[in-house]
Amino acid sequence: MSADIVLLARAADYAARQHIAQRRKGERAEPYINHLTEVAALLAEATGGSDVTLLAGGLLHDTLEDTDATYEDLEQRFGPEVAALVAEVTDDKSLPKEERKRLQIDKTPAKSRRAKLLKIADKTSNLRSMVTSPPAGWTPARLRDYVSWAEQVVRSCRGLNAALDAAFDVAHADTKRHLG
């Protein structure tokens, strides 16, 4: 158990340092680490903290996509399972945004159980933030499009964890209600 706590502390520290200058897109411009810790907390609560690889993946899930972190660095620091999970949920930023979004819908059904759990926690966190701090400059139509897209991605993640399904459903309903 103590090795798991050390791994999580190191993952939280690494994520905070990698994302130090990043802010959420919302009007409140919260530190990006808030999103990462919320995703990890959702995963911990839903699984009873039983899977340290999943929780570390939750903290690190955007490092390959949004920072200068490398797969090799993650593998060296956190082991091959954590690195592989982070890589599995990482979008290819060389592709256009619309293509990345389409690929998330198309490829999520074939992803591992851990990746699907992480996806649903990530989308839940994103929807929650749209209610409390919607992205600056996003029109209501763009917000509705995001909510619809998130639901399509999560569709293939359902049935793996009742707590995560319920958290997403609440966030989805709140967001739809908020957007009218």
Q: What is the pLDDT of residues 30-52, one digit of tens each?
A: 999 999 999 999 999 999 999 99
pLDDT (0 to 100) of residue 125: 98
Res 113: pLDDT: 98
Q: Is the pLDDT of residue 22 over 80?
A: yes
Q: What is the residue whose two structure tokens read 């399509």?
A: 152
pLDDT tens-digit readout, 111-146: 999 999 999 999 999 999 999 999 988 998 999 999
Please tell me the total count of domains within the chain.
Answer: 1
CATH number assigned to the domain comprising residue 47: 1.10.3210.10
149-153: long-range pairs with CB below 8 Å, 24+: 149/101, 149/105, 150/123, 150/126, 152/105, 153/104, 153/105, 153/108, 153/119, 153/123
Choose, from 66, 91, 151, 165, the residue flagged as catalytic.
66
Catalytic choice (4, 65, 169, 174) = 65
- Judge whether 122 counts as a catalytic residue: no
pLDDT band at 178 (very low <50, low <70, confident <90, very high): confident
Q: What is the per-residue pLDDT for 126?
A: 96
What is residue 112's predicted lDDT score, i.e. its pLDDT?
98
Q: What is the pTM of this model?
A: 0.96
Catalytic site residue 65?
yes
Instruction: State percent of the chain over pLDDT 90.
Output: 92
Confidence of residue 75 (pLDDT cuts 50, 70, 90): very high
Q: Which residue is associated with the tokens 């520290």? A: 13
Mean pLDDT of 84-97: 96
Structural domain boundaries, residue 114: 2-179
Per-residue pLDDT at 1: 65
Closest CA to 8 of 31, 35, 36: 36
